[in-house]
Amino acid sequence: MRLLIFIILIIGAALLQGAGWTLFAVSPNFFLAVLFIAALTLSDFLSFGIVALVGLIAIRFQPGLSWAPLLAVGLTLVLYWIKSYLPWLEIFTVVAGLFAVTFLFYLIFDPRFVFQHPTIIFLEALYNIVIGGGLFMLMPRVSAKK
């Protein structure tokens, strides 16, 4: 059930990513936020791999080519591998992790952007935390309805 929910969410995130939705001229990274929560909450690697693959296929239908989706998958794959070693409370892991992953995403993708536009990165991280945190808070309720 959870796998199906994440497949639907990642397809929706891929579609929203290409829609150009902004708030105060900053776009949240829906794709990264959904992948992050999938990596944190899915228990088996095959399920996470399926969600990531479906997401990559869905986002490829957007205009333009970019290696940014591969970078998002790579960063969340690292999270999947280290999540059992994270000692914090779950919600703190979501907040700190989404902030760190958003920052690392830009640091790897375009290091100059980090220093030229730190406010944009901070706002995007904040949006990603709101999206990811809300999704994380809803997931236990969804899984309880099995």
* Percentage with pLDDT > 90 across the chain: 56
Q: Which of 99 and 61 is assigned the larger pLDDT?
A: 99
Looking at the chain, the number of H-run helices and the number of E-run strands are: 7, 0
Burial class (CB in 10 A: 0-12, 13-18, 19+), 109: middle
Nearest to 103 by CA among 126, 73, 134, 132: 126
Which whole number is the average pLDDT over 113-122? 94
- Hey, what's the torsion of the CAs at 139, 55, 22, 97, to 10 degrees? 50
Q: How confident is the model at residue 126 (pLDDT cuts 50, 70, 90)?
A: very high
- Prediction pTM value: 0.86
Q: How confident is the model at residue 12 (pLDDT cuts 50, 70, 90)?
A: very high
Which whole number is the average pLDDT over 23-41? 91
Q: How confident is the model at residue 114 (pLDDT cuts 50, 70, 90)?
A: very high
38/41 Cα distance (integer angstroms): 5
Q: Is the dihedral of CA 16, 19, 20, 23 positive or negative?
A: negative
